[in-house]
Chain A
Amino acid sequence: MALRRAIEAGEPITIDGSLVDRAGLACLQVLEAARQTASAAGLSFTIEAPSAALSDIATIAGLGELAAG
């Protein structure tokens, strides 16, 4: 919800990914949807300092660019 409001408000999105221990598909989908929505709105979307677990999962799922840091 906070993400959606932020996108609607037109703020650039920066998510702190440094403390992620574990992420599932549901999480990746939300992030990916947020990224697409943000870029459709012309906003920047970055996940800052993704943890090893997060970038690992993203890479496995073929979404490496999502958490490329």
Chain B
Amino acid sequence: MDLDAIQGIFFQECDEGLAGMEANFALLRAGDREPETINGVFRCVHSIKGGAGAFGHERLQAYTHHYETLLDNVRNGTLTLTPDLLDLVMGAFDLLADHVAAARDGTDVPADAGMLELLAAASGGAGHASAPLVDIADATDAPVAAQVQAPTDDFDDLMAFLDDVAPASDDIDNSAADNWRLDYRPTANALDNGGEPVLLLRELSRMGARVIDCDRSTLPGLDALDPEIAYFSWTLSLPASVAEDDIRAVFEFTDACAITLSRGEAGEPAVAPSPPTIAARDPSAAPTAISEAASPPPAAAVPVIARPPAAAAATQTIRVDLDKLDRLVNLVGELVITQAMLAQRLSENDLAGIAELTDLEHLTRELQESTMAIRAQPMKTVFSRVPRIIRELEGETGKRVRLDLEGEMTEVDKTVVERIGEPLTHLIRNAVDHGLETTEERIAAGKPAEGVVRLSAAHHSGRIVITVADDGKGIDRQRVKAKAIERGIIHPDATLCDEEIDNLIFAPGFSTAATISNISGRGVGMDVVRKNIQALGGRICIQSRQGVGSSFSLSLPLTLAVLDGMIVTIGDQTLVVPLSHIVESLRPTEHTLSSFGPQGRLLDVRGAYVPVLAIADHLGIEGAERDPSRAVLIVVDGDQGQMALLVDSIQDQRQVVVKSLEANYQAIDGVAGATILGDGRVALIVDVDALTASGRLGARGLAEAA
């Protein structure tokens, strides 16, 4: 494992930490003032700080340091968490996320001077105004210089003490007996793993640690020295005010060491005292000094108690490379196909009834489900980004928004989780920007000043339904229609039902925002959202009531790897129609069919007329049945409305493993993918949305020609 890989893990843990903090903020915002909640936030920031120090991200470390100072004041009760302070803490959190991203991507460090001043001002409210402010001025004006110089100054002092120990012993701190004594012994291979011990020592020294002894006894002579082996080990003394988990956190990112931590070894009286000058001048010692002043025992005791559950949870999971997982999923897919082929071959030889085959079928299905479950992720990973989006929107629009989240733990396949983020962000921006009224308008309409955006996820008959709802003004249908006519999207005489008008906002190039804001309204939005959702095999629908609000529901398949389908025959071809689209299938009688134009036919489904489309015509399949009265019609619900697909016969209904046609061959209009059947033949999966769209177009063309 090299340094980059370890750093990669650090950033992954940063992301998880940030997501965890977001969850805690939601609690805090809801009025939760449990000490554990703010402690959770503090610990996350602290871990990031520790890692940032170990990997040399100095700006990130400097920033987290000041952030941590403020949080520490909140957690030990020096500061009360007022709503204003909470806003600042969350604003600082957003900047922290930017800092982490900058450190990860190696991009420019975000401008943090303003936020640091705010943080310092807030921390300063606790009565420690001057010291932190000076640090910040240094850190922001000339961060590098400050980093190098500050410790040097301290160590000049330290050197003075070391050269002449006598004056220091005059100054014995009362708590000296409680000082931490830390034995730190890097393993011989510590240098291989990127766990540069000197960086850890530097981190410790910022906490006020002093080296009592550097054990050099194992160091061989220059002749025998192996530069890649770590020989030294250290005994350090840390001020008693430093919390145990702060010390342990320094070693969090390396396991190439043995540490023993003990308190109050009286065996080192001459060197153990912690000279107050160092504690005061070392920037990192400042927060601990503050916490000591406020409430010494809890500062050390609380985190120690809180630690074990987090550590226990961490051992329950392992990290797996995604490629490995994808390969596993793929292999299981192949196994399912092979199993189907085997079953078919056996049934050809009258061996279908054997018990082992049934067992194998059960096992493969269970295996498949378990593999899919590994890939499943809670929607939380997507939802945790939303509060920040809302906060930014609040800032940009001046509206006040409350976010309600529901069903965060709903699990869905990783591919869906990855690709839902962007459309969802767009819908949320849309809800805040277009959906919610301004605060004044809301008050005038007799609504609470704070708008509500509700985001929920739930499983619904084998699909996941994600809803973005707002309690805003709803869709102004008259304006939508006027706009659509103005843009030439619909004919001025067209009569449309409410639903059809609502769906106009998905038309390409449509935007109703009176003024184009930089949030939304450039007309590149909703059609792209719908396209993205369709690419995931999903559908989007709108419910809106004027003055009450609107809600956008996304219905998505749980996984893109398997699909429940109806196996149909058309001519000499076998095709699969996705079950999720099928409304009903029927064999038409003479009087349920009416002719329409030279080619067109309509099917009367209990009073509603549905156009009939022969798949064979569209995909160029020969020898297929064209007479609807001798074929089977499958009524499907596509994106552009219903349509009756004409097929020769229905074979079976089963789960198929989807193979991408695009990756293996090329994209074909009207075909969503392919699968391999039990007999080894390839069957195409019908793209119902594309077929209904083109079918409608064809029908319209005919209507205009007639």
Q: Do A and B bind each other?
A: yes
Q: Which residues of A contact B (CB under 8 A)?
A: 3-4, 7, 23-26, 28-30, 32-34, 36-37, 40, 52-53, 55-57, 59-64, 68
Interface centre among A3, A29, A40 (most CB of B within 10 A): A29
A33-B225, A60-B211, A61-B211 known; 7 new pairs, CB 8 Å cut-off, are: A4-B223, A24-B198, A25-B198, A29-B230, A30-B222, A56-B148, A64-B159
A52 cross-chain contacts in B, Cβ below 8 A: 148-149, 152
Give the interface size class of chain B.
20 to 34
A7 cross-chain contacts in B, Cβ below 8 A: 222
B234 cross-chain contacts in A, Cβ below 8 A: 61-62
Query: Is the CB of B216 closer than 8 A to any CB of chain A?
Result: yes
Cross-chain contact A29 with B225 (CB below 8 angstroms): yes
Query: Is the CB of B57 closer than 8 A to any CB of chain A?
Result: no
Tell me the dominant secondary structure on chain B's binding face. mixed
B219 cross-chain contacts in A, Cβ below 8 A: 29, 32-33, 36
Query: Is the CB of B623 closer than 8 A to any CB of chain A?
Result: no
CA gap between A68 and B159 in the complex, in Å:
9
Query: Is the CB of B467 closer than 8 A to any CB of chain A?
Result: no
A36 cross-chain contacts in B, Cβ below 8 A: 216, 219, 221-222
Query: Is the CB of B458 closer than 8 A to any CB of chain A?
Result: no
CA gap between A32 and B205 in the complex, in Å:
21
Q: Mark B173-202, 1 if CB is under 8 A from A, else 0.
A: 000000000000010001100001110011
Q: A30-B225, A61-B214, A62-B213 are in contact. Are A25 and B151 (CB under 8 A)?
A: no
Cross-chain contact B214 with A25 (CB below 8 angstroms): no
The 13 sampled A-B contact pairs (Cβ below 8 Å) are: A4-B223, A24-B191, A29-B225, A52-B148, A52-B149, A52-B152, A55-B152, A59-B155, A60-B151, A60-B155, A61-B201, A61-B234, A62-B211
Query: Is the CB of B701 closer than 8 A to any CB of chain A?
Result: no
B127 cross-chain contacts in A, Cβ below 8 A: none
A53 cross-chain contacts in B, Cβ below 8 A: 148
A68 cross-chain contacts in B, Cβ below 8 A: 159
CA gap between A37 and B222 in the complex, in Å:
6
Cross-chain contact A4 with B191 (CB below 8 angstroms): no
Interface centre among A3, A30, A53, A56 (most CB of B within 10 A): A56
B191 cross-chain contacts in A, Cβ below 8 A: 24-26
Cross-chain contact A24 with B196 (CB below 8 angstroms): yes
Interface centre among B162, B213, B221, B223 (most CB of A within 10 A): B221
- Among residues 196 to 241 in chain B, which have CB atoms less than 8 Å away from a CB atom of chain A? 196-198, 201-202, 205, 211-214, 216, 219-223, 225, 227-228, 230-232, 234
Q: Least Cβ distance of B559 to chain A in Å?
A: 48
Nearest chain-A residue to B196 (Cβ)?
A: A24
B196 cross-chain contacts in A, Cβ below 8 A: 24-25
Q: Least Cβ distance of B238 to chain A in Å?
A: 13
Cross-chain contact A37 with B228 (CB below 8 angstroms): no
Nearest chain-A residue to B223 (Cβ)?
A: A4
CA gap between A55 and B148 in the complex, in Å:
11
Q: Mark B147-164, 1 if CB is under 8 A from A, else 0.
A: 011011001001100100
Nearest chain-A residue to B219 (Cβ)?
A: A33
Query: Of B151, B205, B214, B230, which contacts A63 at CB under 8 A?
Result: B214
CA gap between A7 and B222 in the complex, in Å:
10
Query: Of B152, B216, B231, which contacts A56 at CB under 8 A?
Result: B152
- Going nearest first, the 9 A-B pairs with the smallest beta carbon separation are A62-B211, A62-B214, A37-B222, A59-B155, A33-B222, A60-B201, A33-B225, A37-B221, A26-B227
Cross-chain contact A23 with B198 (CB below 8 angstroms): yes
Cross-chain contact B155 with A56 (CB below 8 angstroms): yes
Q: A4-B223, A53-B148 are in contact. Are A61 and B155 (CB under 8 A)?
A: no
Nearest chain-A residue to B213 (Cβ)?
A: A62
Cross-chain contact B205 with A60 (CB below 8 angstroms): yes
A59 cross-chain contacts in B, Cβ below 8 A: 155, 158-159
Query: Of A32, A37, A57, A60, which contacts B223 at CB under 8 A?
Result: A37
Q: Least Cβ distance of A29 to chain B in Å?
A: 6
CA gap between A7 and B225 in the complex, in Å:
15
B197 cross-chain contacts in A, Cβ below 8 A: 25, 61
Cross-chain contact B216 with A32 (CB below 8 angstroms): yes
Q: A4-B223, A29-B227, A64-B162 are in contact. Are A57 and B211 (CB under 8 A)?
A: no
Q: Least Cβ distance of A11 to chain B in Å?
A: 14
Interface centre among A4, A23, A64 (most CB of B within 10 A): A64
Nearest chain-A residue to B210 (Cβ)?
A: A62
CA gap between A24 and B196 in the complex, in Å:
7
Q: A62-B214, A62-B234 are in contact. Are A57 and B198 (CB under 8 A)?
A: yes
CA gap between A61 and B223 in the complex, in Å:
23
Q: Least Cβ distance of A43 to chain B in Å?
A: 12
A33 cross-chain contacts in B, Cβ below 8 A: 219-222, 225
CA gap between A30 and B158 in the complex, in Å:
24
A25 cross-chain contacts in B, Cβ below 8 A: 186, 190-191, 196-198, 230, 232
CA gap between A30 and B232 in the complex, in Å:
11
B230 cross-chain contacts in A, Cβ below 8 A: 25, 29
CA gap between A40 and B230 in the complex, in Å:
22
CA gap between A4 and B220 in the complex, in Å:
13
- Among residues 230 to 278 in chain B, which have CB atoms less than 8 Å away from a CB atom of chain A? 230-232, 234
A61 cross-chain contacts in B, Cβ below 8 A: 197-198, 201, 211, 214, 232, 234
Q: A4-B222, A26-B191 are in contact. Are A56 and B211 (CB under 8 A)?
A: no
CA gap between A46 and B197 in the complex, in Å:
24
CA gap between A57 and B205 in the complex, in Å:
11
Cross-chain contact B198 with A28 (CB below 8 angstroms): yes
Interface centre among A57, A60, A64 (most CB of B within 10 A): A60
CA gap between A24 and B191 in the complex, in Å:
9
Q: Least Cβ distance of B486 to chain A in Å?
A: 65
CA gap between A37 and B225 in the complex, in Å:
11
Query: Of B162, B190, B198, B220, which contacts A60 at CB under 8 A?
Result: B198
Nearest chain-B residue to A57 (Cβ)?
A: B198
CA gap between A56 and B206 in the complex, in Å:
12
CA gap between A66 and B190 in the complex, in Å:
22
Q: Least Cβ distance of B643 to chain A in Å?
A: 69
Nearest chain-B residue to A31 (Cβ)?
A: B222
CA gap between A57 and B214 in the complex, in Å:
13
Nearest chain-B residue to A65 (Cβ)?
A: B162
CA gap between A37 and B227 in the complex, in Å:
15
B232 cross-chain contacts in A, Cβ below 8 A: 25, 28-29, 32, 61
B212 cross-chain contacts in A, Cβ below 8 A: 62
